[in-house]
Amino acid sequence: MKKSTSVAWQSPSNIAIVKYWGKHGKQYPRNASISLTLSAAATTTMITSTPADGLRVSYLYQGRDKPEFADRVERILGQWAESELPGLRDLHLEINSYNSFPHSSGIASSASFMSSLALGIVDILSAGGLSPEDAVAMRRVSHLSRLGSGSACRSIYPSVAVWGEHAAYDGSSDDHAIAWADVHAIFETYHDDILIVSSAEKAVSSSAGHALMEGHPYAATRYEQAAVHMQWMRDILRAGDIEAFGEIMENEALTLHGLMMNSPTSYILLEPATLSIISEIRAFRKEKQIPVYFTLDAGPNIHMLYPHSEEARVSDWREEVLRPHYQFAIRDRVGRGAKKLSAHEASQILRPDADFAN
């Protein structure tokens, strides 16, 4: 009789503080990066496997067919089966995934999605025995996530993750991310209000952006700067120096966008509203002496970060001053990383009448 196995995992998105920008070979980073793990923006993926002749995949997103995602899923599963997971070669995989945030919202869903897929697959291949406490298995998950989407490898760990070899971070590796626990408790309380100023599809993908770093006139300087920022960041995180943390974070965000603007094929992802919010944040910080800082992914949306103790003052001001500049906000917080869900928990999330469909 054919035996089927089902597993479900929820994995969050993450926001890089020191950015990964530039890659080589099989998705290896040109510089080390560090991120905060989020919680509200997450993907739940349920996988049911049954023995089959050859790898077969059926994929539903938000309970519906989504051919462009299904193609990507099949491609990465094919790669994993080919390179290092031969156990996948004789399975039929029914995969269902659900994002807690609209995929078209302009925030990266590939990190949460790829990591939830890698978790589910490794769990299936270990007959449902994968535990987030198993450090060796989680490194494997992180490695597979990296092959799917670079920054996804950082999403599975609690609070802070480091990806890319760097002398200041013991155990760091280009191959997979590691959890970084030498962090002051203040950072565990951080909020990330993701202010969506545009949910339009990005004009230039991250992959194209990474590619433009090859031959970029400032590439070498950028990689040196990232290494220095990583060095400083280790001590800043340990000490809880939230001002220094914010200064480097903003510098990293603007450097990332600067590199896009001044690459030989120039492009700009910032919107006028992005700049308006940036100047409001800086003015508010200066006037009220409140440690609220911003960062950006490869897109126009603002991630506004601050410690929990400032929530009331920041919220009042956000509603009063920033509200006209963004479409909607995803109010996120630093989270504990990926978690396994019971069949019951998964069925609550993967319900057919999902709130939204993209």
Residue among 93 and 162 whose Cβ is closer to ligand PMV: 162
Largest Cα separation within the chain, whole Å, is: 70
Kindly write out the interface string for residues 85-114 of this chain, putting x where it contacts ligand PMV by CB under 6 A and - elsewhere.
Answer: -----------------------x-x----
CB 42 within 8 A of CB 112: yes
Which among 84-92, 96-104, 146-154, 318-326 is the span making contact with ligand PMV, rule CB under 6 A? 146-154
CB 4, min distance to ligand PMV, A: 32
CB 20, min distance to ligand PMV, A: 3
Residue among 60 and 195 whose Cβ is closer to ligand PMV: 195
Interface residue with ligand PMV, options 7, 9, 10, 19 (CB under 6 A): 19
352 burial class (0-12, 13-18, 19+ CB within 10 angstroms)? exposed
Range 160-190 burial, b when 16+ CB lie within 10 A, else e:
bbbbbebeebeebbbbbbbbbeebeebbbeb
Residue 345 structure tokens: 């928990």
Q: Using CB under 6 A, count the residues that bind ligand PMV.
A: 15
Residue 239 structure tokens: 């000490």
DSSP state of 315: H
Kindly write out the interface string for residues 336-355 of this chain, putting x where it contacts ligand PMV by CB under 6 A and - elsewhere.
Answer: --------------------
Kindly write out the interface string for residues 244-263 of this chain, putting x where it contacts ligand PMV by CB under 6 A and - elsewhere.
Answer: ------------x-------
Name which of 311, 335, 278, 306 is nearest 14 in CA terms.
335
Interface residue with ligand PMV, options 105, 112, 115, 151 (CB under 6 A): 151
Which among 18-26, 195-203, 257-265, 326-334 is the span making contact with ligand PMV, rule CB under 6 A? 18-26
The shares of helix, strand and coil residues in the chain, as percent rounded to the nearest 5, are 45, 25, 35
Q: Is 115 in the site for ligand PMV (CB under 6 A)?
A: no
Q: Which helix (H) or strand (E) holds 346?
A: helix 343-349
Non-local (6+) Cβ contacts of 246 within 8 A are 291, 292, 293, 305
Estimate the crossing angle of helix 242-261 against helix 219-239, to 10 degrees.
Answer: 160
Residue 283 structure tokens: 């003015």
Interface residue with ligand PMV, options 145, 149, 155, 295 (CB under 6 A): 149
Q: Is 298 in the site for ligand PMV (CB under 6 A)?
A: yes
Residue type, 265: T
Residue among 234 and 318 whose Cβ is closer to ligand PMV: 234
Residue among 146 and 318 whose Cβ is closer to ligand PMV: 146
CB 309, min distance to ligand PMV, A: 27
CB 58, min distance to ligand PMV, A: 26
CB 289, min distance to ligand PMV, A: 29
CB 252, min distance to ligand PMV, A: 9
Can you point out the beta strands (E) in the chain?
A: 5-18, 23-24, 28-29, 33-51, 56-61, 91-99, 160-163, 177-179, 191-196, 293-296, 302-306, 328-333, 339-340
Q: Is 222 in the site for ligand PMV (CB under 6 A)?
A: no
Q: Is 206 in the site for ligand PMV (CB under 6 A)?
A: yes
CB 295 within 8 A of CB 15: yes
Which residues make up the interface to ligand PMV (CB under 6 A)?
A: 16, 19-21, 33, 108, 110, 149-151, 206, 210, 256, 297-298
